[in-house]
A and B are shown apart, each in its own frame.
Chain A
């Protein structure tokens, strides 16, 4: 079974709007990461948030983490057509450094010009 689950599965917005996608997970984590995948290509790392952090920013990206609710959100502000992609959360679980990246099913984002 997959640790993280993204919501919604699909999101369609207009250029300039904000896009918010959520990730819920099941077990305690060390950190949570967001990745982007352009159609049929490899995943690219966007941002990492540690379990003791609540919010993190990187350019137009804002990530929040609520460990009490076991959830995270990724906000893309002022979206562009080039942001069209699938977005995945990955959780870091394990002990003693035995981290295994575990991914959800992803959110497919379409940004219309």
Chain B
């Protein structure tokens, strides 16, 4: 089983719809992240959480919100999706001792 699991893997949604991307991890780490990847722009940080009660905005948080339901679960929501949110979204967790990050397989989101 994967260390970090994202659902769904692919999603097509309409402009204005609310959508939630889910992430769960089995590494037992407190730190979790959501990134967005666009061609030529690399990975940009949307939100991060260092524990269940700690939520922080990243570089590009506008239009997104998150929920940390448990140590293992970190969800990303688009309250009202717009076409320029079409991207590949990654959830990750990191080991606080080694700094190694573990990524999910990604969610390819298309907003039409």
| A interface, CB within 8 angstroms of B | 1-2, 30-31, 33, 35, 40-45, 48, 88, 90, 92, 97-106
Q: Are A105 and B101 in contact (CB under 8 A)?
A: no
- Chain A-chain B contacts (Cβ-Cβ < 8 Å), number: 61
Among A88, A97, A99, contact of B43 (Cβ-Cβ < 8 Å): A88
Scan residues 59-112 of chain B and give those whose CB is less than 8 A from a CB of chain A.
59, 88, 90, 92, 94, 96, 98-106, 108
> Are B42 and A100 touching (Cβ within 8 A)?
no
Question: B45 on the interface (CB 8 Å rule)?
Answer: yes
Apart from A99-B99, A102-B45, list 17 A-B contacts with CB within 8 A.
A1-B59, A30-B99, A33-B101, A40-B108, A42-B4, A42-B92, A42-B103, A44-B103, A48-B99, A88-B43, A90-B101, A92-B99, A99-B96, A101-B33, A101-B94, A104-B42, A106-B42
9 contacts between A and B (CB under 8 A): A42-B106, A45-B102, A48-B98, A97-B96, A100-B45, A101-B94, A101-B101, A103-B42, A105-B42
User: Taking beta carbons and an 8 Å cutoff, which residues of B are in contact with A?
Assistant: 4, 31, 33, 35, 40-45, 48, 50, 58-59, 88, 90, 92, 94, 96, 98-106, 108
Select which of A2, A31, A42, A104 is within 8 A of B99 by beta carbon. A31
The reply to whether A101 and B99 contact each other, CB–CB distance below 8 Å, is yes
